[in-house]
Amino acid sequence: MSLIRSTFTLLPSRRIRPLQHNPPGDLAIWVFILAELVTFFALFSAYAFARLSHRELFAEMQKTLDAEAGMINTLLLITGSWCVAQAVAAIERHRNRQSGHWLLAAIVAGAAFLVVKYVEYAAKFAQGIDLSTNLFYAFYFSLTAFHAMHVLLGMAILCFVWRKAMQGGYSAADHRGMETAASYWHMVDLVWIVLFPLVYLMR
Amino acid sequence: MNRSVLNLVWVALMAATLLTWGVGKTIAMNATFVMGVLVLAGLKGWLIIEEFMALRRVRWFWRGLLLGWLMLTLFVIFFAYGLSLR
């Protein structure tokens, strides 16, 4: 009975928790995120419609891609995003050093993503395949390299935030900078969630 | 942020990725496959936006913009692939 009473006492307080006006982090990063998302929307649309008039070429070329590498990179980015979310959760609980460790794990995941991407590119270049090989590979290299640059930028931001976190620069009351970096990193993950099936799987 | 929820979301995202990849390796391309892959991508994107980006507790303007981007992007891709499958 007491369990039921305590449950009903808890539920309303969860429901009436007010919604925040603005998303986590600095508002400027969200404007930047939106601009990036619009750019990727244009690129994905261009790929999907270009494929309409080159279906056989795209299907054949997609078979030459390393889908395992794409899948591993998806797992790495998802894990990196999870680590960053855990870093924010840790700082909210006053666990500053733990938060730093989660950020470092996210940086490692990002670095591993770039290593896998490098291996993938190196294999293609060794086969004489590059940006000018055909329309599919022009899209493949443009889309994935543009995304990889975002991963690189996200890692640079995370390194800065990690250093500050380890120096005690964030607290449970003030960790806006970390939330800003986290939002950007999640955007990089979100874009790859669409890019992976589009380029590697959907033939 | 609730750590248990974050862990659950991570497991769900990893499982959905492996499922998408496994299905993509074994099933031939058809409208059902395209729809299934895009629905899974949509669910994964929704989890990232709601839980990792923590927009679940943010007013609808920002949340709507990101979820709207996701739905519009997946719809345009589905539309283009739908045209090619006709």
Domain residue limits at B78: 3-84
In CATH, what number is assigned to the domain containing residue A137?
1.20.120.80
Question: With contact defined as beta carbons under 8 Å apart, do B34 and B78 qualify?
Answer: yes
Domain count, chain B: 1
Contacts of B51 in chain A (CB under 8 A): 85
Mean residue pLDDT of chain A comes to 92
Interface confidence (ipTM) of the complex? 0.94
Is A85 in a helix, a strand, or coil?
A: helix
Contacts of B77 in chain A (CB under 8 A): 44-45, 48, 194, 198, 202
Domain count, chain A: 1
Contacts of B57 in chain A (CB under 8 A): 17, 19-20
Query: How far, rounded to the nearest angstrom, does the alpha carbon of residue B68 sit from its chain's CA centroid?
Result: 12
Taking one residue from A and the other from B, the number of pairs with CB-CB distance under 8 angstroms is 139
Question: With contact defined as beta carbons under 8 Å apart, do A88 and A181 qualify?
Answer: no
The arithmetic mean of pLDDT across residues A95-102, rounded, is 95
Domain residue limits at A126: 66-203
Is residue A44 in a domain? no
pLDDT digits 0-9 by tens, A149-162: 999 999 999 999 99
pLDDT digits 0-9 by tens, B47-60: 999 999 999 989 88
Q: Which of A55, A68, A193 sits opposite B84 (nearest CB)?
A: A55
User: How would residue A22 be classed by pLDDT, with cut points 50, 70 and 90?
Assistant: confident
The arithmetic mean of pLDDT across residues B15-32, rounded, is 84
User: How would residue A12 be classed by pLDDT, with cut points 50, 70 and 90?
Assistant: very low
Question: With contact defined as beta carbons under 8 Å apart, do A17 and B57 qualify?
Answer: yes
Share of chain A above pLDDT 70, in %: 91
Is residue A61 in a domain? no
